[in-house]
Amino acid sequence: MSASWPDGIRDRLAGFFRIFDDKITPALSTHSRESSTKRQASLSRFIVFSDTDNDLDSVNATLRFAGILGHKSEIDQSIEGLTIIHTGDLIDKKEPDLAVVEFWQLIQQEALRKGCRVRLVAGNHEQAIWQRIHAGKSYGMDDDQARKLKKFVESMDLFYVAGPVLFLHGYPTLEFLQALAHFREVTGKDLNSFNDDHYKKAFISVRAMRQYSYVRDSRNRKHLLYDITNASDYYRKNGQLIGNILERLGIRIVVHGHKPQRSGRQADYEFGDWIPNIRMVDNDTNVSRRGIGATVIREESTGIFDIVFVNSKTASDELRRKVQEDLGKSSALFEAPSGLEGIAGDRS
């Protein structure tokens, strides 16, 4: 059934999708070449990082806690099929560190060799870095270093969807979700194809990139993502429509960062009063100050998605054993179901 949009929305979105069509050749989506069955079977287990801001000590500590890195700092063979996700701001926008870029690139390569995947989502820090380099700022780097940093940002996705879980940097906006729904309705493609077909075309200019750049207090009609200042008011007003679109897209869980939690704990079931059927998780625990932190998600054979929160308040030997059991290779020896039948409670 075709989606029904408020007056003017369809024309506005159609115009948005035409912006770049005559300026750049569409990229071939790597996501569209993956079969649904294979993708779901390999993405049944996730460990999610957010807002590590140049810090590698907390990343390494968390990877070791989860049993992903061994004594020689190599990815353990037993976690084949795991997906490591970072929802953005892995680099600090004021002092970008190429060593951080190289670390994540090495993790990507090593993970691939061990049968795992690493998905890196761009945050506002990465987007700001790209815009500044594009405008001529070098951050004290030589041309080759600046070019490497810029290309790394261009390789990152805007978001990632795996089954019923959406991973992105900031809060999902109404405009962004309407664009995704319109994209799927018009093209029939997997939602992740939006990254290649539209987002990565925006690297032609700073103006084009700003549509996705979490600009503060800028609910511009041509911006799909922006920094929501008062999220409670925003979701109180738009939550029902946002929840309806997410459900229509098959999304039941949203994991994001960008809004640091002073408590050092993940915020769970955000705005549940206004988006009752969606489990929204803020994964920004100020991990660079806390030393450890991630969200672990495991799809069980029943279709339940079990979520465990790792942070400085919950870290214990008991949780370590639980997380390593959840992420271990033996926990994925089942056929992953295609739909969501339920969402398990957290252990926070």
Cα-Cα-Cα-Cα dihedral sign, residues 230, 235, 241, 245: positive
Is 255 within the bounds of a domain?
Answer: yes
pLDDT value of position 71? 72
**Of 170, 180, 284, 276, nearest to 229 (Cα)?**
170
Tell me if 334 is assigned to some domain. Answer: yes
Distance CA 15, CA 154 (A): 24
pLDDT of residue 251: 97
Per DSSP, helices labelled H in 166-257 are 174-187, 193-197, 206-209, 231-248
Task: Give a yes or no: residue 222 inside a domain.
Answer: yes
Give me the number of domains the chain comprises. Answer: 1
pLDDT of residue 212: 93
What was the pLDDT predicted at 22? 39
> How far apart, in whole angstroms, are the C-alpha atoms of residue 131 and residue 213?
10
| pLDDT at residue 217, as a whole number | 55
In a domain, 3, yes or no: no
Give the DSSP H/E element, type plus range, for residue 155: helix 143-155
Structural domain harbouring 297: 9-347
Q: What tens-digit pLDDT sequence spans the chain (348 residues)?
A: 444 444 444 454 445 444 344 333 333 344 444 444 444 444 479 999 999 999 999 999 999 999 999 877 778 877 889 999 999 999 999 999 999 999 999 999 999 999 999 999 999 999 999 999 999 999 999 999 999 999 999 999 999 999 999 999 999 999 999 999 999 999 999 999 999 999 999 999 998 998 998 877 555 567 899 999 899 999 999 999 999 999 999 999 999 999 999 999 999 999 999 999 999 999 999 999 999 999 999 998 888 899 999 999 999 999 999 999 999 854 443 333 333 334 445 545
Is 27 within a domain? Answer: yes
**CATH number, residue 319:** 3.60.21
Residue 4 in domain: no
Flag whether 115 is in a domain.
yes
Look at residue 2 and tell me if it is in a domain.
no
Q: What is the pTM of this model?
A: 0.83
